Amino acid sequence: MSEYIAPCDCRRAFISGFDGSAGTAIITEQKAAMWTDGRYFLQAAQQMDSNWTLMKMGLKDMPTQEDWLVSVLPEGSKVGVDPFIIPADQWKRMSKALKSAGHVLVPVKENLIDAIWMDRPQRPCKPLMTLDLSYTGVGWKEKIAALRAKMVERKVLWLVVTALDEVSWLFNLRGSDVEYNPVFFAYAVIGTDTIRLFISGDRMADPSTREHLLLDSALEAEFKIQVVPYESVLTELQAICVGLSPKEKVWLSDKASYALTEAIPKAHRYLTPYTPICIAKAVKNTAETEGMRRAHIKDAVALCELFNWLEKEVPKGSVTEISAADKAEEFRSQQNGFVDLSFATISSTGPNGAIIHYKPVPETNRALSGNEIYLLDSGAQYKDGTTDVTRTMHFGTPSAYEKECFTYVLKGHIAVSAAIFPNGTKGHLLDSFARSALWDCGLDYLHGTGHGVGCFLNVHEGPCGISYKTFADEPLEAGMIVSDEPGYYEDESFGIRIENVVLVIPAKTKYNFSNRGSLTFEPLTLVPIQTKMISIPLLTQKEVREVVDGGEQTHSKGPKDPSLVALPSF
Amino acid sequence: MSEYIAPCDCRRAFISGFDGSAGTAIITEQKAAMWTDGRYFLQAAQQMDSNWTLMKMGLKDMPTQEDWLVSVLPEGSKVGVDPFIIPADQWKRMSKALKSAGHVLVPVKENLIDAIWMDRPQRPCKPLMTLDLSYTGVGWKEKIAALRAKMVERKVLWLVVTALDEVSWLFNLRGSDVEYNPVFFAYAVIGTDTIRLFISGDRMADPSTREHLLLDSALEAEFKIQVVPYESVLTELQAICVGLSPKEKVWLSDKASYALTEAIPKAHRYLTPYTPICIAKAVKNTAETEGMRRAHIKDAVALCELFNWLEKEVPKGSVTEISAADKAEEFRSQQNGFVDLSFATISSTGPNGAIIHYKPVPETNRALSGNEIYLLDSGAQYKDGTTDVTRTMHFGTPSAYEKECFTYVLKGHIAVSAAIFPNGTKGHLLDSFARSALWDCGLDYLHGTGHGVGCFLNVHEGPCGISYKTFADEPLEAGMIVSDEPGYYEDESFGIRIENVVLVIPAKTKYNFSNRGSLTFEPLTLVPIQTKMISIPLLTQKEVREVVDGGEQTHSKGPKDPSLVALPSF
């Protein structure tokens, strides 16, 4: 249920051949069907054989999984699912639909794919990395204490931590069990005076980890960590629940698996969309924001080196989307504290740029040239922090239309970056600011404008963001970090996106919302934006000021967007 | 469950004395408690005696109705409620909370207030008004046919119409059973070949109504209207449900009462947030928009007369909030086709302007003067259409700060009015446009920016609007009519609001969203805005153009805002 998964969890790819990042396979005695979205219609059709029916989600009259099951199942069927890989709310919906048609959804304890997957890879169990206070700002004992204060406030006795990045953040540990996300397979269950960490292998044998977690120290009992095998989380949770008195509650995210949710009797469940860890993790402290700043300096150095290299090499005709992405990784990996990329690099030129989640593969790999726009959306994990930046550039002469579109996107990017808003504002309310200049000319883009960004953690994290698609996001507050990435995509022609990672900071305003407080953004990204793509006459005086001096004249903040201050140099 | 209710339904006011527009009374054997919101803390405290506990909703640690009940009830209590005046979702929530504490929520068929309310007024049963095609554009038979097409599309056999304005719209009838909303007490149940209209009294004896509904005509069977007594809706609905085969569905709004919802067995319920009538009603046809235009011309004439009168009379010191409101009604009532006001006039000067839902009463009535801002939010029902307009003015010399605030509000008003956006955009995404100028200086207002407006129907109607508070609104489409009313309120000092009613119209844009279509607004309101309140230097060139020539130079639409074209004249 994570965004990035380990090879041992790629069960759908094993059974169907289709390895896109989104898809659900349903297999009956006679049929096999695959639901996926528009990004993957082509790829899924190519990768799957004729045994499979492709269900193109979003197309009109395409049956839902529930409707399809009801239409093909013989009367009184049982539908099985691994309860650890289905969220509780999805279970509930599907179970209800099947029940009303006379069928039943049942949890299958042994995963049936695993039963036939002979060469299934081992679950990764890579060494852990400990982060000291200079990176985290707050020790894990302090985090646990603050968490327990929240538990007391909500009158819950236990909290189950299921999201991998939440476990990593809570204990100031990092791992490399999956690609791109520096996390490790684990659960945690926090009681009012106990801490259970569910983790596999002999990772706790490492002396620095033992020391970090104070496993061998004399310690107040309530901070003593019990290390428990990963696989026993369900039975331990069940045992905890057996001991509960009436009205005693267990806190769990409503996005947790059916297996864990169901282990807690309904009367004892306390479900919220976001755990207190998720919310605390989103608000970065000084050590974390300073780390993010260091990471973004390194990242900008690497990308400046790349751009310099591209300007020299592209005219020779030897650079492709894949080699440019590799070179970006090479320059980044030379930076101090580099750990990994933060996601699969989107390196796309010409028509490939219009595929929003494009990842170059040999079959689609295209040479960069002086005739096409090049879009690079990439980022890295440094021990200090996480980066995610998109720049769009041209190595020849962009057309007037390309410059026009780019400038509208830039105007939207500036509008969000320069936005001032009251404390307590939810990010989705800022989404239209990014679109206004595009809308005025009848252009739009069909993705959100920003996502939360972790600090040496997941590049996509909740609970905040800037997207018209969401509503239940948490309000933005100073210390949160999100991306600002409007775009424009012309099908079969080009893609444009300008993305900075920005930090929510207090703003100085004339009237300060009756002391409610004012917020704005400060860009952390320092990578230059290519000036030749800008149609200067389309910028307002205010936008030019915002670009050049950080809007000093309209409100008294520091320089607004250092990447734009650096504009003339690229 | 309507916004405006008849005296016979003011049961909470009868039992408690508190007659504000929002409040819930709960009475146990020992206690009586009243929940209301911040608008009414003072009024409720004044109107209720010491038997009542005031529950100030929104204050920290104030118990919810459910929590309070659980805290005061003896073990195993029954809580009764009239199932006709509680929405099904609220019933569900309360029932669940009570059940988990060992109590039970029960429907009480005889309303217990009515049982002790000796001089309870009769339910109004005023004559009906029929609207011909010149007003409605579409006959009721056509509306029924279109509705049945939607029912076929969704595979439902029956549709229950509970909202009074939906019944009025469907049959092209109007009434005056409640204040301000030109509706009448009725239900309708539409089958695939039957029409049942539940309505009281001898209203169907009127020859023009009989003719309008073709009650005495030879007619295709499926358009024959069965007139049924209002009170028998529940038993009729139960009878219909008894006859349903499995999988046959009855369509009902999820905002309907528990009584009607519960009458439909769960397996047969088809609930949606908006009925197809609600959505069809929101999209005005040419006859309706032309009617709305006529209504707005009359309304502007009446308000110009008022403003002329105010300019002469206010300096004499004899005009009060109440007399100004009365004068506005007098001028409006002289207009052809005037029926009623569309809501209680908000006539407020100085500090009273900061009370957003202020209605002047003798105790608060304040004289208009040359020293204070005056805010007038008013509207009327004409047979052609419904108006709702707010203007804020000064009869002396406004302060620089007042002008500054007014101009930010005006900039927000223009930003929404001039917004261009793709077809399919939901109104809440435009809300921030109205706030941006205010936000830049640290000012905000705590209400939504716009609501749907009916055509000679309710001045507040779904399913569209422009508010940061909503998310489940329906997308805006050409023909919908909403208000555009940003404001700014300085507590204990003044209130500013600028409100036009605007029509969603197609826009011409350079690239037209790849043929998805472009939308913008055209103001219907023609009432001048007072120029002396504007601080011209705060307007951008584009805003000035937008004001003066309707933005001709930025996009090719007709004159944008006639009320602003008329600016220099007031």
The CA dihedral of A313, A314, A315, A320, to the nearest 10 degrees, is 120
* Cα distance between residue B9 and residue B13, in whole Å: 9
CB-CB neighbors (< 8 A) of B431 in chain A? 429
Task: Provide DSSP, B424-465.
Answer: T-BGGGGHHHHHHHHHHTT---SS-SEEE--SSS-SSEEEEE
Residue whose structure tokens are 């004289």: B367
Q: Rounded to 5 degrees, what are φ and ψ at A39?
A: -60, -25
For chain A, list residues with pLDDT below 50: 551-570
Residue for token pair 């700060």:
B401
- As a whole number of angstroms, the distance between CA B529 and CA B410 comes to 9
A512 interfaces chain B, CB cutoff of 8 Å: yes
Q: What is the mean pLDDT of residues B105-122?
A: 97
Closest to A224 in 3D by CA, of A251, A187, A193, A198: A193
Residue B25 φ then ψ, to 5°: -100, 135
Lowest mean pLDDT: which of B53-62, B100-109, B321-330, B528-537?
B53-62
Higher pLDDT: A56 or B247? It is A56
C-alpha–C-alpha distance, residues B402 and B375, integer Å: 13
* Distance from the Cα of residue B357 to its chain's centroid: 13
Residue B563 has pLDDT above 80, yes or no: no
Is B471's pLDDT higher than 80?
Answer: no
pLDDT at B548: 63
- Whether residue B445 lies within 8 A of chain A, CB to CB, comes out as no
Chain A residues in contact with B511 (beta carbon < 8 A):
441-443
Amino acid letter at B567? L
Q: With an 8 Å Cβ cutoff, is A444 touching chain B?
A: yes
Residues 6+ away with beta carbon under 8 Å from A137: A285, A286, A287, A288
Query: C-alpha B139: how far from its chain's center?
Result: 24
Mean pLDDT of B492-500: 97
Q: Do A439 and B433 touch (CB under 8 A)?
A: no
**Tokens 């130079």 belong to which residue?**
B553
Q: Interface pTM (ipTM) of the complex?
A: 0.91
pLDDT the model gives residue B528: 96
Question: Residue A556: its pLDDT value, please?
Answer: 40
The answer to whether residue B518 neighbours chain A at the CB level (below 8 Å) is yes
* CB nearest A444 (choices: B267, B422, B510): B422
Which residues, including other chains, have CB under 8 Å from residue A412's CB and lie 6 or more apart?
Answer: A433, A434, A435, A436, A437, A438, A449, A486
B267, B444, B512: residue with CB nearest A513 = B444
Is A74:A101 a contact under the CB 8 Å cutoff? no
Burial class from Cβ neighbours inside 10 Å (0-12, 13-18, 19+) for residue B428 reads buried
Chain A residues touching residue B468 (CB < 8 angstroms): 426, 429
How distant is the alpha carbon of residue A487 from its chain centre?
18
Query: Is B557's pLDDT higher than 60?
Result: no
Report the alpha-carbon distance of residue B475 to residue B274 in Å, rounded. Answer: 12
Work out the average pLDDT over B84-90.
94
| pLDDT higher than 70, residue B568 | no
Q: Who contacts A130 (Cβ-Cβ below 8 Å, separation ≥6)?
A: A172, A173, A208, A209, A212
The residue type found at A568 is: P
Q: What is the pLDDT of residues B261-307, one digit of tens each?
A: 999 999 999 999 999 999 999 999 999 999 999 999 999 999 999 99
Mark yes or no for CB contact B439/A422 under 8 Å: yes
Q: How far is B514 from chain A (nearest CA, A)?
A: 8
Q: For an interface test with B, which of A60, A440, A557 has the most B Cβ atoms less than 10 Å from its Cβ?
A: A440
Residue B343 near residue B181, CB atoms below 8 Å? no
From A281-295, B439-453, B532-546, the region with the lowest mean pLDDT:
B532-546
How many whole angstroms separate alpha carbon B418 and alpha carbon B521? 7
CA gap A269, B118 in Å, rounded: 48
Compute the C-alpha angle B348/B353/B359, nearest 5°. Answer: 50
Confidence of residue B542 (pLDDT cuts 50, 70, 90): confident
pLDDT at B202: 87
Q: How many CA atoms lie within 13 A of B236 on its CB side?
A: 20
For residue A289, give every residue at least 6 positions away whose Cβ sits within 8 Å of its Cβ, in sequence order, or none.
A455, A479, A481, A503
Nearest to A54 by CA among A73, A74, A66, A68: A68
d(CA A462, CA A464): 5
pTM of the model: 0.93
CB pairs under 8 A between A and B: 75
- DSSP 8-state symbol, A347: E
- Smallest Cβ distance to B511: which of A435, A442, A516? A442
- SS3 of B246, please? coil
pLDDT classification of B26: cutoffs 50, 70, 90: very high
Please report, as a single letter, which amino acid is at residue B152. V
Token pair 């509904």 is at which residue? B213
pLDDT of residue A569: 32
Closest among B387, B511, B366 to B455, alpha carbons compared: B387
Chain A hits for B471, CB-CB cut-off 8 Å, are: 471
Contact A444 B430 (CB under 8 A): no
Return the residue matching tokens 């997957």.
A117
- Identify whether the C-beta of residue B260 lies closer than 8 Å to the C-beta of residue B253: no
**Cis status of the peptide bond prior to B463, with omega within 30 of 0:** yes
pLDDT surpassing 50 at residue B556: no
> Do the Cβ atoms of A291 and A283 come closer than 8 Å?
no
